[in-house]
Amino acid sequence: MSSRKGQRDAARVVRQQLARERRRRRTIWVSAAAVAVLIIAGLIGWAAWSSQRSDDFTTPPGANADGTGIVTGGGPVTIDVYEDFLCPACNQFEQTSGPTLEQLAAENKAKVVYHPVAYLNRFSTTAYSTRSSAASGCAAAGGKFHEYAKALYAKQPAEGGAGLSDDELIDIGTSVGLDRASFGDCVKEGTYKTWTEHVTEEASRDNITSTPTILINGQPLADRSPQGLTAAVAAAGK
């Protein structure tokens, strides 16, 4: 009797162990399936978000094909200028070499692409980098991008504050000949804020980490003086 009871007890223990193992395996498979569903859902969501972020933006007139900058000139050499209207170094570059860029474009020695990025929002309490870049898109729509950009630099606010208000941005546009009604509506509605986001995101993807960054046919320009800029363009055009 004791032998048969011992066999029954042993069989029961085995059945219990097998049942626990089945439950453990079932739990593992259910958990793995749940994780797989979450990963797939996350990938689908990311793809949808990425597609929306890269495609859902309004491009101002005068932009290049991929909508990352405003183009002037049409020479054999491409100059990419990454600038932030709150950046003091960008202001300095505009004062020293801005006229040289304009001359190279006017003489069709270079195609200049201006990328007004919004990297310095953290140095403004009102996201001034984004607002000023978007306003420059409104100026491009009115055919006054360069005039407006120069005027923005002339009235560049200090870092760490609120920056210029939208009304002040509109006043600057009026001062360079933009229609107050249409330009003002564009600024207040933030028509080109999505474009600014696109320009900034694409610059980041291209490993542009600071402003100003100047590229000559894709290569960084070390000497940003008028003489260095002119020499680099001449060498790249050979």
Listed as ranges, residues in the chain with pLDDT below 70 are 1-19, 21, 27-55
User: Looking at residue 68, what is its pLDDT?
Assistant: 97
- Please write the tens of the pLDDT for every residue from 45-61: 434 434 434 468 899 99
User: Three-state SS across the chain?
Assistant: CHHHHHHHHHHHHHHHHHHHHHHHHHHHHHHHHHHHHHHHHHHHHHHHHHHHHHHCCCCCCCECCCCCCEEECCCCEEEEEEECCCCHHHHHHHHHHHHHHHHHHHCCCEEEEEEECCCCHHHCCCCHHHHHHHHHHHHHHCCCHHHHHHHHHHCCCCCCCCCCCHHHHHHHHHHCCCCHHHHHHHHHHCCCHHHHHHHHHHHHHCCCCCCCEEEECCEECCCCCHHHHHHHHHHHCC
pLDDT at 176: 98
Q: What is the model's pLDDT at position 237? A: 85
- pLDDT at residue 5 in the model: 57
